[in-house]
Structure 1
Amino acid sequence: MAAQNNMSTSTMEGSLSKWTNVVNGWQYRWFVLDDNAGLLSYYTSKEKMMRGARRGCVRLKGAVIGIDDEDDSTFTITTSSSKDDPKTFHFQTRNGEERERWVRALEDTILRHSHTRWDPRKPPPKHDFDRKVAEADAYLQLLIDQIKLIEQKQKDLGDDNEEKKQRYTEILRQANSMLNSVKHAIVQLQIAKACVSNTHDALCRNTAIPVNGIYQGPTEPVNIALPLKHVTAREPDPTVQTGIELGSECTEPRVSNSNATTRNLPVPEYSYSSSDEDEDFYDAADEISPTPSQSAAKRREAERIPSVTESSLTTDNRPVAKTPAPPPIKHDGSIDYDALYEEDSDDGEMDSMESHGSVVTHLLSQVKIGMDLTKVALPTFILERRSLLEMYADYFAHPDQFVSIADMPTPKERMVQVVKWYMCSFHAGRKSGVAKKPYNPVLGEIFRCYWDLPSVVIDKDAPLAENGPIPWCNENQLTFVAEQVSHHPPVSAFYAEHPTKKISFGAHVWTKSKFLGLSIGVHNVGKGWVNVHRHDEEYVLTFPNGYARSILTVPWIELGGATTIVCARTGYQANIEFLTKPFYGGKRNRITCQVSGPGDKKPFLTINGDWNGAMEAKWTDGKTEIFADVREQRIEKKMVKPMSEQDEDESRKVWREVTMGLRINDMDKATAAKCAIEQKQRDDVRYRKENNIGWQTKLFKETKDGGWMYTSPLEMRMRTAEAATSGAAASSTGTEDSTNASSAQSST
């Protein structure tokens, strides 16, 4: 069907597939998007639409659109205006281009109805008033934090910067004046809120219910400039039931338009589907969706930010935070920063994540679906207490599995062991059931650690790997080092090695975050490689994508995407797929793998299971066995130098104050520390730019193909040692020949 764009109408229509149930799956429906009414109606056919036999509708006010980054044709609409609060509808287009146009049109409609002007003759709803007061309180706290940073910068100035000090003094004078005005305004808002609270219910009864269930829709046409393939634009049909309930407090002033047609449309109280009353026909719901009463209660709690008068202002109008827990203290009374990293899990912070629901909602309202989140400043409370560089180190939490690759006698067994280590490595990188974001490493940040192998007895007299990544470690320890080598784009490079086993690993990863509506996707662009030097083999591998799901409630993490492991020398390869949870059933954290040899048409090994649980292997001879069960594998603790002995650019030392703020639940302290780190980065960039100084990496160098490698890898050091040994042997042989010749001459 040819696409049309009628600038005189605000109605869009076309065919889409809609998920019905697990029995009937996807079914074609005819959809009508009415931008004026904020309603997406659907019918079993275009003919039924002409007769007004609506199958169901989705109210778009307050709805949230979601897309699946692994599938370019499906999208969802989650609406809270339904009986089954909330309700998720699933749709499918013919291709990615068509989905893009539907999503953009729906986003515009949702945005329009989220910012509808209030009728000045009617008071706004109380819950919106409460939300605005809470937002004002949050902005007040941000303003206070910024003023504190300015004060600190003024204190840091030397005595010879009198002119700058005067500038800061003037800025602070004006900022504090504005701060007092904002505090006064918020207090006045709280007083006004208290005055109207007693009469609010009566006002709601008079303004929030449409008269006789009929909605007089806005007559001003809204133009939709997005043409849709397989979609036609049409004039509003008075026989089509496309009404949406709008209280009189949010109706727009009417605009006279001779071409507009007044519509009297029956108002659906909720989003609904005609299959709602039949158990065999239902729209898919997320498996962790709470009951309607629980959902409503949780949403009210999540959107509640304590008011200024209740908890955010003291008697002298100074903001106060939730009472923080005491930090860990050493025997001498100083803060034990190393103890901040002793706890492995952040699960206890799940409740605090839900309490910030309105902040997340406000943040997401500022971004579009598909938008790159790399430069979006995220709130401090979603941060995990470790740097991204340290998270990469946790993928080696089973060091025995990694180093045993070199012990396997055949190429086939070595490939299988590489696959086992790879598939078992990801669960250790996730310490919490709640999806949180590691710190973005600053440019030049470094992380170092090492592991003692549980299968090796610690030998204190073992020779040190003085030329290795960590000079104070011996050759029987697995060492790891990482560096943030680029900021735009954000690229991390890391390297691990075990000299005795003659095995090493290198990688560089560029993370790209994308907003997907109800989730956030993180693409890991880059590659890694396992080098087994004893056999001159290199296994090149790629990384899965990560997803933070259910970001409006309690977010959870999952991995998704196809990855590969290839050894060019032996011809062995593995195709691995991390399966994201389907919306119509299925399990989370599923993984599949097929391993094949050189010239094989079929895989000799197939693996299925959970990457955070048990995985089952099936061989070509029909044998089935447990390939690995990460729940039964011990996670070996990485060893890190005490913070007092670390360099200033090492991860834990860089982020120590942020980590302490998060650990003791003092978000003000964590935010201030994070802002200070970011400001230092900006100052350093400005200084290098003004003085024409280029950035120099410390441990890694860029390759010709745009990748990154460790400057002194094990392979290079082995070759240097072999060359030195060969040279010494040749020199020794030459000396012996000369001595023998001299002896022979003397005898003669």
Structure 2
Amino acid sequence: VGEILRPGIRGQAGELSSRGFADTSTGCAAARAPQPVVMSEPKAPAPPPGDTYKGWLFKWTNYIKGYQRRWFVLSNGLLSYYRTQAEMGHTCRGTINLATANIVVEDSCNFVISNGGAQTYHLKASSEVERQRWITALELAKAKAVRMQAESGESGQGSGTRNSEVQSTLRTLGSKVEDLSTCNDLIAKHGSALQRSLSELEGVRLGGDTGDKIRQVTERATLFRITSNAMINACRDFLALAQAHSKRWQKALQAEREQRVRLEETLEQLAKQHNHLERAFRGATVLPPPLANPAGDSKVSGKGDVSDEDDENEFFDAMEDVPEFITVPADPKRSGSNVSGISSEIGMDDQSPQEVELVRKRRTRIPDKPNYSLNLWSIMKNCIGKELSKIPMPVNFNEPLSMLQRLSEDLEYHELLDKAAKCQNPLEQLCYVAAFSVSSYSTTVHRTGKPFNPLLGETFELDRLHEFGYRSLCEQVSHHPPAAAHHVISKRGWTLRQEITLASKFRGKYLSIMPLGTIHCIFEKSNNHYTWKKVTTTVHNIIVGKLWIDQSGEIDVVNHRTGDRCHLKFAPYSYFSRDVARKVTGVVTDKDGKAHFVLSGTWDEKMEVSRVMQSSRGGGENGTEGKQKTVYQTLRARELWKKNPLPEGAETMYYFSLLALTLNEQEEGVAPTDSRRRPDQRLMEQGHWEEANAEKQRLEEKQRSMRREREREAARAASAAEDGVPQDNYKAQWFERTEDPTTGEVTHIYMGGYWEAKEQASWDMCPDIF
């Protein structure tokens, strides 16, 4: 019907125009037709004046440093921050897109910006008024960013190969609109004619002549019906075409959004790869190893750090070729050691032939780790926010060592303390002690397994008197909170003791382990007494991704006799940083604060030491506010400590070092409470994990029963006493709880008797815990 009507429609345009119908309908069509034409390729609106907002805010960094002052810039829907204003031209510390971000106000000055988990900024303004200004600017920028994103998504449909298809569709839709407009005009025309005919028919009926008029009315009514049907068909075609292309455009828009997400992920991966390549390039060129720089050429380190919290100090070597201050002859007795010397007086005592004969051959392998599948989230989802020591976990998460044995692994590089005992200069001795404090973390880089929580009263001895001249004893002295006391005595002239309490929290994505307690190292010859604490260990990607471990925080190694100090900084990992991963830097100063040595390296690989020739304080960058940096001019660095290589096949043996492989080796004569005698740990090492889980539950229930019995005894004793206050009557077997004379802390100190009991094979005083 539409094709029959089309010639007539075109021919009657003049008459329709004269009656005013075409003008009205054409005006409606013209009002609608330009709408799709604009969709071809519009330009993005230019940002209005005042679109950028800048200022200082305090950003949360970590629990060590808390909130740090940062320069924030809000522009074009992006919030970026810099350490100083001078960095705006070259180093952006981070950027968040407000179009996909949530803005939450916490209190009068604090607010949080997050884009769904990938990035979260905890910010604090200097006042409530300043915070409200930022919130207003952020909300306006977010609204504009969302609007621009939507417009960009629509305009993106008309680009590339899809542009011609869209234009063709728009032309078809425009043609359908013209047909609808013409049909509308015809309906109006034929409707008016039909109405006139009906009026005339009424007049004729009164006059008596009705035959011709009735026939005319019937023709015009038929024409009106045909035109109405054409209008209905044209509307149906237009609606079907619009619906079909609407679905296609919605799919195209969704595809564009998914492609944008993939591009953002790809860009992030490229940024990480670029960062790794830059690190590799800097390691190969800017920071050559000492042997590659025999001429003593200058080098610069500590610069170009783009991490959020870069170091306060910068170090670089002296330009002139000065005499080396470190001269150490090779020790033929210990040529395989990875510990270098600082003074020529440092060496190891020769072992007597009798001692060499008594050295037993230790094992170099353990059974391979079974490949057990486990739904991690099903176990961990109910443990968020709890302490690690209170979470009942299967042995699938463990490694076949107890926490007491892991604590004994701090002695992996005991040679550092042996050499320190030979030092005449206390500042050089402090360098070795600081390197020893760093070396204890080198065994953790691949060790993602959780050690067994020791039972109360459990012990572990590490007797290496004939091999290396030291004896070590650990005892679990408390269960809640879990605490272990450790005492080491060496015939090389040093004593090491510590009590470590672990505080840990599971946060869903990562696990933080905070060791609490002080480590003491005393040298007999000089009577130097050093103390330090451990840094925080973080296990990342608990739920999704590959587990990896990071160490972050600061350590102060203090000589209480002389007042000398070494301040060490463990930089947290950030893939935005161009600096080397797992970086550690330190400065050795005397009691007056004058720097004498600079330490640098990584906690998983090596540490180097350089003597300071000159230091100066520099101002902030381009006169901006902030901390001043101390620039140290040093001699050429010398290697102080280097990590021992892992044994062959370590990836199938929990990444144990050679020392760790020997810790759980069965040994005669040890106490009945020794970790080697723990049955669930032994079963796990042998690969019998189901049996190990059942045995672990039995031991834990036995420990709970013993605790309940002690509580009943304490209650009975309290009822018999005058005060009536129950007191825990548990006392450690080999350690005594007392106040440390140096630090004033209440700690457990070894009171003797263990090695004498071992010589006599008299263990009657030991509790039955296994």
Q: TM-score, normalised on structure 2?
A: 0.48
Q: TM-score, normalised on structure 1?
A: 0.49
* Structure having the larger proportion of residues in helix: 2
